[in-house]
Structure 1
Amino acid sequence: MSTAPTTPGAGRYAPSPSGDLHLGNLRTAILAWVLARRTGRAFHLRVEDLDRVKEGSEQRQLEDLAAVGLDWDGEVVRQSGRGPAHQQAITKLEAQDRVFECYCTRREILEAPSAPHAPPGAYPGTCRDLSAAKREQGRARMRELRREPALRLRSDVTSWQVQDLWAGEVTGAVDDLVLQRGDGVVAYNLAVVVDDAAAGVDQVVRADDLLSSAPRQAHLAQLLGLPEPGYAHVPLAVNAHGTRLAKRDGAVTLRDRRDRGETAEEVVERIGRSLGVVGARSARDLLDRWDPATLPRHPWTVDLPD
């Protein structure tokens, strides 16, 4: 595994091909592109297709991103093709004695007593220091359930600090996070760290529901000898009830808006107004006119006509 170069650096957008991108997704993508281009970084696109792949979704997402004015450098990377690099990272952690098997079900973790001040659902360390006999019992149980043990990080810290462009200095919890699930699929937290480093990404722009994951991902990068990126977490898009925007909220995708007679330029103009920029018709307009210091710190309430 090679350490990514520190210059010129890169930004990225990494959608999951589980359906069409809604306006909140497009807003985040545009901001990631603008911040990368404004700072002279490359901009990469990575399809995170380890879960929930909907046929045709990837192509539709790429077309929608291009329609609002985004371009990207190099080929589109698919996370499903990065398996050898992910396994190499796990092997490196195993050599440091930082990996252990976990035989718990999700329900058992949720119901287990947690350490004081631990967030809800935090892993309580059940399988971290089992005896050889207990581990064999756990493996036997997994065979009965026709599952493999999950692989977890043996963390030696409880928190880590990252720097975010808008949130500032953020300290978050670090636990014995999953590296590989019981179905053999590598976990998101590992894959994103390895893939960002391989692409030279040093600027991670994404929605702020992932801000709490940044400290554990940065710590994992440090353990793997990879550079920790800078972060810029964007407030979520929400519906009129303050709930995270989703496709069930109506005509919230670019294609939905086009079906109702709007153009891609009008959709970008709507996104621009949410950022305090009036009259933007493409991502290029926002690159020229939007000041990152003016980003609203509150969620964007998307109120659309039918």
Structure 2
Amino acid sequence: ASFADAFFEVEARGVKAQTLHDPGDEEARREALEALLAPLDLTLVPAEEVQTCWFVDVAIDIHEEGYVLQWLTVAHPRLIRHALPSIGPNVEQDLARSQKLYRQDASAHLSDFAGFRLEPRSRGRHDHVVYCNVYTTDKAATYQMNNGVYRRRGSYDLIPGKIEKLLQDMDTISTTFLDCAGRNGVIQDGTARFEIRVNAAYARQSLTDFPNALVEQSILAIPASMWWYFKFYRLAAMYKLLSEIKDTPGAARRWMPNMMLASVTVYMMNAVMYRPSERPAEQELAKA
């Protein structure tokens, strides 16, 4: 086997929120970057590579105690402009319409609330930005990397041998939402996170502020208990529907309208915890 032109990638994980600092404090930014890069000896890396091949995620977290913050969909062009201040007039509008570079992530299928992901490519060159990720942290309550209770579901979970387990898991998830709403006396807040990936050599100069005016134009603060009860009641409605489908005689369950209704319900259930699926088949089902 030939390894000509092979390359290797190193990714440091598990370091998010380990270098919290005031973005407006230059010394704090320097210390945070040094702490993040401490395991690496970048003196062994050519300066050109640090400027082109090494990247750091720089982020600002916005928090209001007692609230879950949500990004407003209409504010995406303004946010793109903030991430890429060097772009020309109206370029942010073009990027927000791009089907290749921009992905909108609606929150629980509420079209007014959405984060987004953006690969600016050449448009980000002057600002040294290769990726933008704008999202909220309320999903952390049900985030799970392994194949457990909070995993994404599919239509295969609706077959007679699995639907009972699906309903049990939905009950567990609803309990999580109640806990976040303050059932045990502690309410779970949710922050809004604005994140850009930049060349490591320029990380200290990136995202050093987030104006109050932009916060006011881009974020809606929702009382945390209201947000979690919204998720709880939405999931409860889906639970009721799937329970009825489970108890429907087999012949009727095979009717196409019933199968489509059950599949769309699972699609909506996933969106209570994750961004809506981008799989073409599921998107076509939702449109139908």
TM-score above 0.5, yes or no: no
Larger Rg: 2
Which structure is higher in helix share?
A: 2
Q: Which category of TM-score, normalised to the shorter sequence, fits these structures?
A: under 0.3
